[in-house]
Amino acid sequence: MLQLITAALFAIVIGAAFTLWGYRIFLVLLPVWGFFAGLWFGAHATTILFGGGFLATTTGLVIGFILGLVLAVLSYLFYMIGVAIVAGAIGYALAAGLMSAFGVDSNFLIVIVGLIGGVAALILTLMWNLQKYVLIILTAVAGANALVLGVLLLFNQISLDSVQSAGSAIQPVIQ
């Protein structure tokens, strides 16, 4: 019971934070995620190349730390391209989803229209400098999902096991 209440309250707090301040949180977390990705990659590559345990050698720590700093800086400097790619993926999903919703059965046509929608969303995001707004929408939607999930958990409408077995936080909310 305590685990359920803790998970529900955590989801509500994180959901509210991302719904209300998601863009700012994202900007802070992006270099942090970049650093840890670089640290893991550098240390893991060193382990594979030279043997030893993960983060067990000074070489692995130094290479991981340096690569972590490089990726943290690059993730902050070039996030616009990554966000534009995400916008393209959203554009593809929306275009392909609309084609399916209108009853189009041709997979080839759905893919072509989806690709056109994805490329259009990517280009529009870069041309009109919409990266900030893409992130605001994505973090607001993710935060709202976490809020709903937390409330459903708190009022025992879904179980913690269903969230863990679903593989995503949105699946139990949709069901």
Q: Which residue's entry shows tokens 């803790």?
A: 6
Report if pTM > 0.85: no
Contact between 28 and 34 (Cβ < 8 Å): no
pLDDT band at 133 (very low <50, low <70, confident <90, very high): very high
pLDDT tens figures, 94-118:
999 999 999 998 899 999 999 999 9
How many C-beta atoms surround the C-beta of residue 164 within 10 A?
10
Which class for 25: exposed (0-12), middle (13-18), buried (19 or more C-beta within 10 A)?
middle
pLDDT at 25 over 90: yes
- Reference 83, options 126, 22, 37; nearest CA is 126
Chain-wide mean pLDDT for the chain? 89
pLDDT band at 147 (very low <50, low <70, confident <90, very high): very high
DSSP string, 48-105: HHH-S-TT-SHHHHHHHHHHHHHHHHHHHHTHHHHHHHHHHHHHHHHHHHHHHHTT--
Angle, vertex CA 53, rays to CA 40 and CA 37, nearest 5 = 0
d(CA 152, CA 71): 37
Please give the torsion angle defined by the CA atoms of residues 83, 87, 93 and 99, in that order, rounded to the nearest 10 degrees: -170
